[in-house]
Amino acid sequence: MSDILLTGGAGFIGSHVCEALLARGDRVTVLDNFNDFYDPAIKRGNAERLVERGARLIEGDIRDEAQLDRLLVEDAPDAVIHLAAMAGVRPSLLDPLHYEDVNVRATLLMLERLKQRPTTRFVFASSSSVYGANEKAPFSETDDIHQPISPYAATKRAGELHCFTYHHLYAIPTSCLRFFTVYGPRQRPEMAIHKFVAATLERRPITMFGDGSTRRDYTYVADIVDGVVKALDHCAGYEIYNLGESQTVSLAEMIEEVGRACGVEPIVERRSMQPGDVLITYADVSKAKERLGYAPSTDIRTGLARFVDWYRTEGPGASLPKHGH
């Protein structure tokens, strides 16, 4: 049993990670500021369920230094899983300074406190977006990446670099996890799969940017959680791990699979590619498999069926008339 501080624990991935930790007997403190990047009521609903299961909830900001002193120095947790961040490539183009403040400066504030207690394991949520305009696929942790093409991607790479610096100077055991397009129950409403399912079930058009040939390594949330927990348990030294499904699906194929899962033919509106978007994300997960025993197993069809089932029964679509299967 470990005492774990989980930042962003009321969010999509965080709430699933928290459930997994509680289920195995860890004591978890969730820190979340319930910001309005998307409807805070969704995160409050997640948090309520976590508290019922035994989590301790602190409402606060990762930039609040007095609070970080209490949670990281006085409480002295065994580990920190740092998921809290401003998310999203496209929104980061509109407010890069805010992304820098939350994603980089706040991470530094945490590392400054962890150097006083360098036995605390630190798991940092990074992103496949750090690979930027990388033309080699699949993406490997050893790739030379120096071309981030969005402020969000730059902040996540900066976070990894700061983590390395503090590991080098103070021996903080650190794992940086590059998540590849995570989806599943409770997915954020602005993300593509959630938006596409909602639009399809409500008979609204889906906006498809580009010709549908861009490819993503869509990763089901249960597989990501498995990787996060294993990275926590194997956290030693400084390591970067890709966590993806290690299979790519084109945008056009994904829309087709959404239609299949919904039992409804999607209506598609085509638009031009957006700035900051990459042509492909594709994870080489051999390092995570070898070092962590990571074993992603959910193909896109299975994962979408589970998401649509959640959407219709517990999610926003629970009040929709039932169509299809």
Q: Active-site residue 218, yes or no?
A: no
- For 171, what's the count of Cα atoms within 13 Å in the CB-facing half-sphere? 3
Please, which residues have CB within 8 angstroms of residue 9's CB and are 6 or more apart in sequence? Answer: 15, 17, 18, 28, 30, 31, 32, 47, 50, 55, 83
Question: What distance in Å separates the CA atoms of residue 63 and residue 281, rounded to the nearest whole number?
Answer: 31
Question: What distance in Å separates the CA atoms of residue 208 and residue 289, rounded to the nearest whole number?
Answer: 33
The answer, yes or no, to whether the previous bond of 138 is cis (omega within 30 of 0) is yes
DSSP line for 72-139 = IIIS--SEEEE------HHHHHH-HHHHHIIIIIHHHHHHHHHTTSTTSEEEEEEEGGGGTT--SSSB
Catalytic residue (one of 152, 166, 282, 294) = 152
Q: How many CB atoms lie within 10 A of CB 220?
A: 23
SS3 69: helix
Question: What distance in Å separates the CA atoms of residue 7 and residue 26, rounded to the nearest whole number?
Answer: 15
Q: Please count the residues of the chain.
A: 325
Q: Write out the catalytic residue numbers.
A: 152
